[in-house]
């Protein structure tokens, strides 16, 4: 009965490859997020979707493309991987709560290593 | 601007109190949060405070908010080895879809 799950947990790949990370939540939340955590543990939001609609799109290279087939799923596809993409990617979800309390539930993370 | 700052490391002895500090810049924040990240895991909400409150207590945790100075602190009483983790301060921005801005995290090490 995992709340927010991500696959894979670890991903090791060569520079230039294309890869995807998947995220699913069974909490009935409307909003999902992708965060990137670098080696110094800085956590930065990348994207957010609300009911399959993109609502937050930070300054992220367009090699990164999120896709939300339904409100329970948010996938992240990365083209032409670069060394600097190595990080832990966290998915999170929350209830839609404009101007209000916004507890976000995080997945366990996907550690991406680009060689 | 959107910026949240925390000191990066804190080392305390088991049984002592820990105080983790955070400063933020956006005065329109609605809620402020403390998240805990244990090794190899995702972040988990520890506690939060609404921006019109000064203090919130929850068992061993005490959150203090000085809105004038934009300063937030988390005090953990009787710190245990299981409290060793990275603690992230985050501010929730007013409007839109409540983007959270996270600090860099404070690594708390508890030693015997």
Give the tens place of pLDDT for each residue, B3-56: 899 989 999 999 999 999 999 987 777 889 999 999 888 999 999 999 889 999
- In A, which residues are within 8 Å of B44 by CB distance? 106
Are B65 and B24 a contacting pair, CB within 8 Å? no
Smallest CA–CA distance, residue B102 to chain A, in Å, is: 6
% of chain B beyond a pLDDT of 90: 71
A30 touches chain B (CB under 8 A): no
Distances, alpha carbon B84 to alpha carbons A30, A99, A104, B72, in Å: 32, 32, 22, 20
Mean pLDDT of chain B: 91
DSSP result, A68-86:
EEETTEEEEEE-S--GGG-
- To test the contact with chain B by mutation, choose from A3, A30, A43 the residue with the greatest count of B C-beta atoms within 10 A, namely A43
Min Cα distance B106 → chain A (Å) is 10
Query: What's the rounded Cα separation, in Å, for the pair A76 and A65?
Result: 6
| Mean pLDDT along residues A67-83 | 95
pLDDT higher than threshold 60 for residue A97: no
Measured between beta carbons, which residues in chain B are less than 8 angstroms from residue A97? 98
What end-to-end distance do the CA atoms of chain B give, in Å? Answer: 41
What pLDDT does residue A1 have? 65
Question: By CA distance, what is A53's nearest residue in B?
Answer: B97
């Amino acid at each position: 009965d995992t709340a927010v799950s991500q696959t894979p947990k670890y991903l090791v790949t060569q520079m230039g490859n294309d890869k995807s990370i998947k995220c699913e939540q069974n909490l009935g939340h409307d909003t999902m997020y992708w965060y990137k955590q670098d080696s110094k543990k800085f956590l930065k939001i990348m994207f957010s979707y609300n009911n399959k609609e993109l609502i937050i799109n930070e300054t992220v290279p367009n090699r990164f493309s999120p896709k939300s087939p339904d409100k329970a799923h948010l996938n992240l596809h990365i083209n032409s991987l670069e060394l600097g993409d190595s990080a832990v990617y966290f998915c999170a979800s929350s209830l839609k709560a404009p101007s209000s309390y916004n507890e976000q539930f995080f997945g366990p993370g996907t550690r991406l290593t680009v060689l | 601007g959107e910026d949240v700052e925390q000191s990066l490391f804190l080392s305390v002895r088991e049984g002592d109190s820990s105080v983790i500090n955070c400063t933020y810049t956006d005065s329109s924040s609605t809620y402020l949060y403390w998240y805990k990240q244990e090794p190899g895991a995702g972040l988990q909400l520890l506690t939060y405070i609404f921006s019109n409150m000064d203090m919130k207590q929850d068992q061993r945790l005490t959150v203090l908010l000085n809105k004038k100075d934009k300063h937030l602190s988390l005090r953990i009483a009787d710190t245990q080895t299981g409290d060793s983790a990275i603690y992230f301060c985050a501010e929730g921005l007013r409007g839109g879809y409540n983007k959270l801005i996270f600090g860099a995290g404070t690594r708390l090490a508890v030693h015997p």
